[in-house]
Amino acid sequence: MTNHWIDIKNTDCALIMGSNAAEHHPICFKWVMKAREERGATIIHVDPKFSRTSARSDFHVPLRSGTDIAFLGGMIKYIIDKEKYFKEYVTEYTNASFIVGDKFGFKDGLFSGFDKKLSTYDKKAWAFAVDANGVPKRDKTLKNPKCVFQLLKKHYSRYDLKNVSAITGVSEKNLLKVYETYAATGQKDKAGTVMYALGWTQHTVGVQNIRTSAIVQLLLGNIGVAGGGINALRGEPNVQGSTDHCILYHILPGYHSVPRAHWPTLADYQKANTPISNDPLSANWWQNRPKYVVSLLKSWFGEAATPENDFGYSWVPKGDTPKGLVQGDYSHLHIFDRMYKGKIKGGSIWAHNPAQSIPNTTKVRKAMDNLDWLYISEIHQNETTDFWHRPGVNPKDIKTEVFLFPACHRVEKEGSISNSGRWVLWHYKAAEPAGESKSMGETMVEIMNAVRKLYREEGGVFPEPIVNLNWPSHFDADQIAKECNGFFLKDTTIKDKTYKAGSLVPSFANLADDGSTSSRNWLYTGSYTEEAGNKMKNRDLSQTDLQAKIGLFPGYSWCWPVNRRVLYNRASVDLNGKPWDPTRVVIEWDGSKWIGDVPDGGWPPMATGKGKYPFIMQKEGHGALYGPGREEGPFSEHYEPIETPVKKHPFSKQLSNPCAKIIESDMDKRATPGDSKYPIVLTTYSLTEHWCGGGETRNVPSLLEAEPQLYVEMSEELAKEKGIKNGDGVIVESARGRVEAVAMVTMRMTPFKIQGKTVHEIGMPFAFGWTTPGVGDATNRLCVSAGDPNTSIPEYKACCVNLKKADKLTELS
Amino acid sequence: MSKTFLIDVTRCTACRGCQVACKEWQGFAANKTTQIGWGSHQNPPDLNPKNFKIVRFQEHKIGDTVTWNFMSDQCRHCLQPPCKDMADGYMQGAVVFDEATGAVVYTDKAKQLPKEAFDEMKSACPYDIPRRDDATGIINKCDMCYERVAAGLIPMCAKACPTSAITFGDREKMLEEAKKRLAVVKKDYPEAQLIDAEEVRVIYLITDKPEFYHKNLVAQGPAGISRMAALAKMTAPLKRSVRNLLG
Ligand code: SF4
Ligand code: SF4
Ligand code: SF4
């Protein structure tokens, strides 16, 4: 979230899209409802299914899964055509005025720089034109045909109501209703918020879905302001924390690229990952990256990390140089594909149920049979821990040796959790771990200590990364929290205060690239200090009048970065530091200092000449209407899902994302576009009563009682066509699998009119698996192994299926 | 001071926090539920001896507009409870008023009531609330979490509700709050109304026709009328008597 949960109450209009917020983030709806009741905010829900979120929204607009970019592209066109954008904001704070270089081009669905063989782009083709000093050229009149604004206007001019309606299935009337309502937040004193979740990310165009919303929000001046922002509603309480601390393969803690083979030395790495801006007005915050990376290495390798050995950079594993769609990608899609192809021998799985939650699950389960060994840490047995005796296999045929470590529940341990609003809260242990279960941290520390002992005693091919680790003898959450914050490693004086070696660093501004500081995550530096202790434990509700007006509680928990509650808040004020909306002040310049929230950098307002552009994480300091960093283009473009019910779309000849990560194997069969064998769109989702794959919640009787079995929501029209009645057993089939479910025939699902033809869409939850008897089994057996080119997140939200009434049921009872 | 709930459906997201929290607090085991032949999010399908609270779901479509109505159903804790009248006719002390809260509570003695007594209680209840476990003879329903309330806490369902759809407090204050909310809600939904506010301690604020939520959202007349109930009715407020007779 750029903003935070409470801030939703400040909005004038919430566009909930790609999210079923009321069902999956029930508490957040308290703030949505407050906005509606107290501000008269309009709540809009755009989603294939009428859900509990729709029920509490002012209106629900059904759209076909996978057409969000078309829908929002139409909104961009509307905003520009009707001049609903916030001109001053767009000119001053976004890159609308930047001149794009001559190499940029766009033709029939492809941008310039495309390499057909590798299915990737050479992004240099999209660079900005720069002046003699290397500063991007600008035209603040926004008239230059090569400026971002004009290119944007041209790009989205194809997204007219007729085209958008034909492909999304949304009536022109409904499109206009949403566009008009939301575009009204482009006024200076109005704010609109975008709330999204996996309904946007889980597509082969996931990142570009969100990019498109960023364009909308920047045009309307909705970033940085109270009641605005782009708000990713993260899943489990700590999904934000797990991203910050890099549970995924592609980053190191604190959002640094994972080292790659073509960056053999630390200098190579730093050079490639440290942007240089020649514009003195750009803060270009990532220029500080080397300090954060060296502090991270110092935290990992302690005294063994010296300037002479690149602080141990060579001990950090290097990913292959990414090339094409496979090489250098270690995401789940690829891990299980490699496992299926016999290239992975063993491994560990923590708090994760891939045999239930990875697409094309039948293949995933089969892939696991190829492992020699596997160890798993879990609180309940689930489809992954028990894969070796799943229905249809004989355990005697499975060679894998499986070790199951009982993990304790989260209420049985203490630690930090980071919520969607980036608040880091300490949570306390409520009970002792049951039986012999242990926290996963404890298990991991013990295993690694045993490995370290072996390496120390017996050596090995490459022992340094393991024996040199700054590794604890036992797990202590409090100590880890301190390590995340970071220490001074030698006596250091800041202003008039001297910090002894070994004391906690007060702020990431004090981190250094010479090895004199450590920090396991620069974003968390300042969360645990000598002066204030563990700020994650802060529960102080005091606030200034200004803060009270917008629900800021700076003394409650701690928030990264530096306790700033609304990101990019320097964009909430004009060039003189005066808030766009004086009734909803995030920050304000009082003549000598900023008041309100912690500003995005303490520099004075832009008009003083000593200020900095507000989008400090961007190299050029401006909000990116044009974003040259993504894999499939600087603007978003509508591409169909990999499995689509249509053969063509109105925007170009490029049917699907040209850079989509598609997995190929004998088990990865796909329907052809417009395949008459699989004419129905399937979308999958979670539900309030079960959490994700259901491994935990299926073991909670009162939740299983409330949602006992796998169902398939379908329209009355489709049910009639197929001769299916509510409550009937149904077989749903895709090119990859077959799943039994119970029909839930409902007027909440709507058939779509797509390019003149009726297209049906159905929806199924993915929480039910065979280890809970009679509830049904993995919906993901139907889903397709194709992912977004930027993130490799699989396209769970759209694939093509067919269905029929079941003669008999074996998975459900 | 006696207590009252306000259940404001305009705030209800049907998260079922109330349903699950009630069950957990009361310590009830789960029922075996199913979708086969049922196909609805409303599960368990009805109140039962192990669910004092369930959330009811009903969907409607008028023109292109879908509405999905949610109703967090429970005992209304009638100011003059017909179920108590019925039980009292068989045995004093099976159904009692909790002095402090006004809760209508079924005690352990209720188990001793014969099946006929239960049938009369159930059919006398204008909201179809009481349930009986035929195996054990236990007759039960929501008890307003009166023990929690006595300890200065609010009922578990109100505590669990994330959106303040269920609020709980002193009756006078809640009546006032109900009227205030009604006035606000009416601006968006002219048909909004409070249900049986003067007669019950669980007041629903609804925006659609009552039958669009549940047939027993509004008090329904009993099928069979016993002597005690008829007597009780004579002393009950005129409005309810008339409706019961019509029902
Ligand atoms: S807890 Fe509140 S919001 Fe959730 S179902 Fe019950 S009444 Fe509705
Ligand atoms: S609602 Fe029914 S069960 Fe509850 S007090 Fe009234 S009559 Fe008795
Ligand atoms: S008051 Fe207590 S017993 Fe009654 S419905 Fe609420 S939680 Fe259940």
| Interatomic CA distance for residues B102 and B79, integer angstroms | 8
Host H or E run for residue A757: strand A757-759
Q: Is residue B232 part of a domain?
A: yes
| Token representation of residue A632 | 């499939």
What would the pLDDT profile of B30-75 be if each residue is shown by its tens digit? 999 999 999 999 999 999 999 999 999 999 999 989 999 999 999 9
pLDDT at B222 (0 to 100): 55
* Nearest residue to A785 (alpha-carbon basis) of A151, A144, A212, A334: A334
Strands B3-8 and B202-206: parallel
Q: Bridge-partner residues for B72, per DSSP? A: B55
**Measured between beta carbons, which residues in chain A are less than 8 angstroms from residue B67?**
55
Other C-beta atoms closer than 10 Å to the C-beta of A664 total: 11
Pocket of ligand 2 (CB under 6 A): B 75-78, 81-83, 104, 125, 127, 129-130, 141
Report whether A137 contacts A98 (CB < 8 A). Answer: yes
pLDDT at residue B237 above 60? Answer: no
Of A33, A50, A709, the CB nearest to B35: A709
Question: How far, in Å, is the centroid of ligand 3 from the Cα of A30?
Answer: 21
| Token representation of residue A98 | 């930047």
**Measured between beta carbons, which residues in chain A are less than 8 angstroms from residue B13?**
22-23, 26, 29, 52-53, 55-56
CB pairs A-B closer than 8 Å? 110
Report whether A766 contacts A684 (CB < 8 A). Answer: yes
Instruction: Report the CATH number that the domain containing residue B101 is assigned in CATH.
Output: 3.30.70.20
CA A617 from chain centre, in angstroms, equals 17
Does the pTM exceed 0.80?
Answer: yes
Which domain covers residue B98, as residue numbers? 82-143+223-246
How many structural domains is chain B composed of? 1
| Token representation of residue A452 | 């370290």
Q: Is residue B3 part of a domain?
A: no
With CA atoms as reference, the chain B residue closest to A812 would be B36
Report whether A295 contacts A470 (CB < 8 A). Answer: no
Q: Is residue B242 part of a domain?
A: yes
CA A707 from chain centre, in angstroms, equals 27
Q: Which of residues 13-72 of A touch B (CB under 8 A)?
A: 22-23, 26-27, 29-30, 33, 37, 50, 52-56, 60
ipTM over 0.85: yes
Task: Decide: residue B62, CB within 10 A, 0-12 exposed, 13-18 middle, 19+ buried.
Answer: exposed
pLDDT at B72 (0 to 100): 98
Name every residue whose Cβ is closer than 8 Å to that of residue A769 and which is 6 or more positions away in sequence.
A353, A356, A382, A383, A693, A694, A695, A698, A775, A776, A777, A778
Query: Distance (Å) from the C-alpha of residue A173 to the closest C-alpha of chain B?
Result: 12
Average pLDDT (A184-193) is: 98
| Interatomic CA distance for residues B23 and A563, integer angstroms | 39
Average pLDDT (A648-653) is: 98
Q: Is residue B52 part of a domain?
A: no
Does ligand 1 have an atom closer than 6 angstroms to the CB of B155? Answer: no
Question: Is A703 within 8 Å of chain B by CB?
Answer: yes
What would the pLDDT profile of A404-424 be if each residue is shown by its tens digit? 999 999 999 999 999 999 999
pLDDT at B236 (0 to 100): 45
**Chain-chain contact of A742 with B23 (C-beta, under 8 angstroms):** no
The secondary structure of A528-572 as a DSSP string is EETTTEEGGG-B-----HHHHHTT--TTBSEETTTT-SSTTGGGG
* Nearest residue to A20 (alpha-carbon basis) of A190, A204, A235: A235
**Measured between beta carbons, which residues in chain B are less than 8 angstroms from residue A30?**
162-164
pLDDT at B1 (0 to 100): 74
Query: Distance (Å) from the C-alpha of residue A729 to the closest C-alpha of chain B?
Result: 7
Half-sphere exposure of residue B226: CA atoms within 13 angstroms, side-chain side: 21
pLDDT at A548 (0 to 100): 97
CA B133 from chain centre, in angstroms, equals 19
* Nearest residue to B117 (alpha-carbon basis) of B243, B218, B228, B221: B228
Report whether A687 contacts B9 (CB < 8 A). Answer: no
Ligand located closest to B155 CA: 3
pLDDT confidence of A238, banded at 50, 70, 90?
confident
| Minimal-distance CA residue to ligand 1 atom 3 | B12
Host H or E run for residue B83: helix B82-90
Q: Is residue B71 part of a domain?
A: no
Report whether B84 contacts B113 (CB < 8 A). Answer: no
Q: Is residue B86 part of a domain?
A: yes
pLDDT at B246 (0 to 100): 37
pLDDT at B230 (0 to 100): 47
pLDDT at B244 (0 to 100): 40
DSSP code at position A38? I
Name the residue of B78, B123, B198, B203 to mutate for ligand 2: max ligand atoms within 8 A of Cβ: B78
Q: Is residue B108 part of a domain?
A: yes
Task: Decide: residue A415, CB within 10 A, 0-12 exposed, 13-18 middle, 19+ buried.
Answer: buried
pLDDT at B242 (0 to 100): 35
pLDDT at residue B107 above 80? Answer: yes
pLDDT confidence of A237, banded at 50, 70, 90?
confident
pLDDT at residue A306 above 90? Answer: yes
Question: How far, in Å, is the centroid of ligand 2 from the Cα of B152?
Answer: 24
Question: How far, in Å, is the centroid of ligand 3 from the Cα of B247?
Answer: 28
Q: Is residue B98 part of a domain?
A: yes
pLDDT at residue A83 above 80? Answer: yes
Host H or E run for residue A455: helix A440-458
| Token representation of residue A807 | 């003669």
Question: How far, in Å, is the centroid of ligand 1 from the Cα of B55?
Answer: 8
Strand order in the sheet with B3-8: B166-170, B3-8, B202-206, B193-195
Report whether A483 contacts A471 (CB < 8 A). Answer: no
Helix/strand/coil percentages in chain B, nearest 5: 35, 20, 45
